[in-house]
Amino acid sequence: MSSRFTKGGCHCGNVRIEVTGEPIAAMHCHCVDCQKITGAAAVAVALFPPANVNMTKGAPDTYTTLGESGEKIHRTFCGVCGSLIMGKPEAMPGFVTVMLPALDDSSFIRKMVHIYTDHIKSWTVIPKDAQQFRKMPLWVKPVKGRDT
Amino acid sequence: MSKRISKGGCHCGRIRIEVIGEPIASVHCHCSDCQKITGAAAEAAALFPVENIKVTKGEPKSYPTQGESGESLHRYFCGNCSTPLIGKPDAMPDIASITIPSLDDSSFITEIGHIYTDHAASWTDIPKDAQKFPKMPPLG
Ligand SMILES: [Zn+2]
Ligand SMILES: [Zn+2]
Ligand SMILES: [Zn+2]
Ligand SMILES: [Zn+2]
């Protein structure tokens, strides 16, 4: 079976990426940092193993925020057009996030979950039947200390 | 009557803005350009008379996209942290938009409509009873 191969990039085309396979999960993140940096109700991301995400063109800029874990999230964007492209959470080295709109075709992604809904603002309404988590759901939490 | 003054800025604090008064309209814009640039289902934007929006600190970068009118929309963002801040459409020189999350307190903005829902991605969640416009509705 050949695995899915998805291309993507920023609005102006200076940065291009390639993603292999299906995402581990896809979510709208409503945390305050994601709201601020996107200019939107929530960032829309898909999680992939880092080895499945490749930068094929350009040198994007990086901006680092602090996640709830206290560890860093490195957010990659195009310095020319401002498009957000990827995120690398240090707390979860097994995942890289890719902004869904960065993909040329994201139509293979359907239902998503909403996370950090505790932070939803007065101007955001999500469907009542949407799957939602007030914080980060356990199944994407880091499994640090598992052996101790 | 004193007018509301709302302060705001980007995530890293290099750019600060001030907005005077109430917005003309507030929308989630699902157009393809807004999706691509925000990394989200839609940009959350509030429209104000252009003279009511001021950059009080720092100098945003600008990137033009082409609106449906064929004229340019100049998008201003922080070059350090990527936060989108202001949009200025050439087609409507009296109006500018700000991104709602750039405001320090946006709680005076309540339920807002969805525009360009014709372009909404397959994975977008819009409540059934939300106000929706397939394209850009007339202002006012
Ligand atoms: Zn770009
Ligand atoms: Zn987030
Ligand atoms: Zn900034
Ligand atoms: Zn738009």
pLDDT band at A86 (very low <50, low <70, confident <90, very high): very high
pLDDT band at B136 (very low <50, low <70, confident <90, very high): confident
A5-119 architecture in CATH? Beta Complex (2.170)
- When pLDDT is cut at 50, 70 and 90, the band that residue A1 belongs to is low
B14 C-alpha vs ligand 3 centroid, how far in Å? 5
pLDDT at A83 over 90: yes
Quick check: B30 and B132 in contact, CB under 8 A? no
List chain B residues with CB under 8 Å of A17. Answer: none
**Residue B140 contacts by C-beta under 8 Å, 6 or more apart in sequence?**
B24
Cα(B31) to centroid of ligand 4, in Å?
4
Domain ranges of chain B: 23-119
- pLDDT tens digits, A50-63: 999 999 999 999 99
pLDDT at position A126: 94
The fraction of chain A above a pLDDT of 90, given in percent, is: 82
Q: Supply the ipTM of this predicted assembly.
A: 0.95
Query: Long-range contacts for B117-122 (Cβ within 8 Å, ≥24 apart)?
Result: B117/B30, B118/B30, B119/B30, B119/B31, B119/B32, B119/B35, B120/B30, B120/B41, B120/B42, B121/A44, B121/A100, B121/A101, B121/A106, B121/A107, B121/B30, B121/B35, B121/B41, B122/A106, B122/A107, B122/A109, B122/A110
Residue B19 to residue B22: CA distance in whole angstroms: 9
Q: With an 8 Å Cβ cutoff, are B39 and A85 in contact?
A: yes
**Per the structure block, which two tokens stand in for B97?**
């938009």
Residue B111: pLDDT band with limits 50, 70, 90: confident
Which residue in B127, B139, B124 sits closest to B34, CA to CA? B124
**For A112, nearest residue in chain B (alpha carbons):** B123
Q: Is the pLDDT of residue B33 over 90?
A: yes
Q: What pLDDT sits at residue A146?
A: 37
Candidates B102, B129, B92, B94; CA nearest to B113 is B129
Name the average pLDDT for chain A. 91
Q: Which residues of B touch A109 (CB under 8 A)?
A: 122-123
CB atoms within 10 A of CB B21: 12
Of B12, B36, B128, the CB nearest to A101: B36
pLDDT at A108: 92
Residue A112's alpha-carbon distances to A7, A49, A89, A145, in angstroms, are: 20, 18, 20, 29
Residues B13-28, mean pLDDT to the nearest whole number: 97
Tell me what pLDDT residue B69 has: 78
CB atoms within 10 A of CB A3: 8
Report the DSSP pairing between strands B72-77 and A96-99. unpaired
A118 contacts A132 by C-beta, under 8 angstroms: no
User: Nearest ligand to the C-alpha of residue B115?
Assistant: 4
Residue in B26, B41, B61 closest to A44 by CB: B41
Q: Which residues pair with A7 in a beta bridge?
A: A18
Q: How far apart are the CA of A126 and the nearest CA of chain B, in angstroms? A: 6
In what helix (H) or strand (E) does residue A34 lie, and over which residues does it extend? helix A32-38
What class, spelled out in words, does domain B23-119 have in CATH? Answer: alpha beta
CB of A105 within 8 Å of a chain B CB? The answer is no
Helix (H) or strand (E) holding B65: strand B61-66
Q: In the predicted model, what is the mean pLDDT of residues A117-144? A: 85
Residue A74 has pLDDT above 60, yes or no: yes
CA distance A47 to chain B (A): 14
Is a pLDDT exceeding 50 seen at residue B17? Answer: yes
- Distance between CA B40 and CA B26 in Å, rounded? 17
- The answer to whether residue B7 neighbours chain A at the CB level (below 8 Å) is no
Span B50-100, pLDDT tens digits: 999 999 999 999 999 998 778 999 999 999 999 999 999 999 999 999 999
User: Hey, is the C-beta of B112 within 8 angstroms of any chain A C-beta?
Assistant: yes
Higher-pLDDT residue of A109 and A110 is A109
Give the pLDDT score at A148.
28
State mean pLDDT over A16-33. Answer: 96
